[in-house]
Structure 1
Amino acid sequence: MSTVKIEKGQAFWLADPQEHDFPAAYDYLELLFVPEECKAFVDKLRGATTIKKKSKDILRASALPLLPDTNCHVKENLRKIKKKEKLSPILLVRANGKLIIADGYHRLCASYYFTEDLDVPCRLV
Structure 2
Amino acid sequence: MPQTKWKDEPDEHDYPAAADYLALLADRATVDHLTAQLRSAPILHKKAKDILRAARLQLLPADNPHVQADLDKIENGKALAPILLVRGDLESDVALQIADGYHRVCASYHTDENTDIPTKIASWK
1:60 is the counterpart of 2:53: yes
Task: Give the count of matched residue pairs.
Answer: 118
1:51 is the counterpart of 2:52: no
1:37 is the counterpart of 2:47: no
- Supply the AA of the counterpart residue of 2:98: I
Report percent identity of matched pairs. 48
Counterparts of residues 2-17 of structure 1 (less than 5 Å): 5-6=1-2, 10=3, 12-17=5-10
Instruction: Find the aligned partners of 2:4 and 2:100 in 1 and give their Cα distance.
Output: 20
Instruction: Find the aligned partners of 1:113 and 1:76 in 2 and give their Cα distance.
Output: 13
Partner of 1:71: 64
Partner of 1:109: 106
- Supply the AA of the counterpart residue of 1:119: D
Instruction: Find the aligned partners of 1:117 and 1:95 in 2 and give their Cα distance.
Output: 21
Instruction: Find the aligned partners of 2:102 and 2:54 in 1 and give their Cα distance.
Output: 13
> Displacement of 1:11 after TM fit?
5.1
> Displacement of 1:98 after TM fit?
2.1
- What SS does the corresponding residue of 2:80 show, helix, strand or coil? coil
After superposition, the C-alpha distances for 1:30-58 in whole angstroms (9 at most, x for unaligned) are: 00101110010000000000110011000
- What SS does the corresponding residue of 1:81 show, helix, strand or coil? helix
Gaps spanning 5+ residues in structure 2: where?
Answer: none
Task: Report the TM-score when normalising by structure 1.
Answer: 0.91
Partner of 1:86: 79
- Supply the AA of the counterpart residue of 2:68: K
Gaps spanning 5+ residues in structure 1: where?
Answer: none
Instruction: Find the aligned partners of 2:25 and 2:50 in 1 and give their Cα distance.
Output: 22
Instruction: Find the aligned partners of 2:34 and 2:50 in 1 and give their Cα distance.
Output: 21
Moved over 3 A (4+): none
CA contact (8 A) 2:19 2:32 kept: yes
Partner of 1:19: 12
